[in-house]
């Protein structure tokens, strides 16, 4: 199982081509694979160094605080996702999905509890929480 498989899951389950990754940190493989699959990807992080790193890799990257998000960044998205987010940002990510009426996909750290309002699906050995019926 590879993290890039998460990108294939998103591509198979999201009709649009505009994706936003929240909490990208320094792990860019899913965003880069989605871009390779034809997606317009924007990555978000509060850490300026993570944002600069993503820009150096050729990704659109924006600094934002998920606890007090600038909603205009997320409004034209087709899907919101996060790769191994810290537990404290999961609820704000789900709230953004509700506000923008977008599906949210979360690839959790192992052992993280299933967030309320999501269901667990297995894709190529990856446990993924989703707000969309699949």
Strand segments, DSSP code E, in the chain are 18-22, 40-45, 60-63, 79-83, 104-107, 119-123, 126-130
Dist. CA 76–CA 125, nearest whole Å = 30
Q: CATH assignment of 4-130, given 3.40.50.620, 1.10.340.70, 2.30.30.40, 3.40.50.150?
A: 3.40.50.150
Cα 70 to its chain centre, rounded Å, is: 16
| 16-52 pLDDT, tens digit each | 899 999 999 999 999 999 999 999 999 999 999 999 9
Q: How confident is the model at residue 64 (pLDDT cuts 50, 70, 90)?
A: very high
* Mean pLDDT value across residues 105-115: 85
Q: Is the pLDDT of residue 1 over 70?
A: no
CB 32 within 8 A of CB 11: no
- Is the pLDDT score of 73 beyond 90? yes
Distance CA 100, CA 120 (A): 21
> Is 44 in contact with 64 (CB distance < 8 Å)?
yes
Kindly state the percentage of the chain with pLDDT values over 70. Answer: 99
List the domain boundaries for the chain.
4-130
Round the CA-based radius of gyration of the chain to a whole number and report it. 13
Q: Give the number of other CB atoms < 10 A from CB of residue 115.
A: 19
């Amino acid at each position: 199982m590879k993290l890039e498989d998460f990108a294939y899951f998103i591509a198979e389950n999201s009709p649009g081509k505009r994706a936003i990754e929240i909490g990208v940190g320094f792990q860019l493989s899913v965003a880069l694979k989605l871009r390779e699959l034809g997606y317009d990807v924007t990555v978000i992080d509060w850490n300026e160094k993570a944002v600069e790193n993503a820009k150096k890799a050729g990704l659109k990257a924006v600094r934002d605080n998920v606890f007090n998000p600038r909603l205009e960044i997320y409004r034209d998205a087709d899907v919101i996702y996060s790769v191994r987010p810290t537990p404290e940002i999961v609820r704000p990510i789900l709230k953004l999905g509700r506000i923008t009426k977008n599906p949210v996909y979360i690839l959790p750290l192992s052992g993280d509890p299933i967030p309320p309002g999501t269901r667990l699906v297995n894709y190529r050995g990856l446990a993924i929480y989703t707000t969309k019926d699949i």
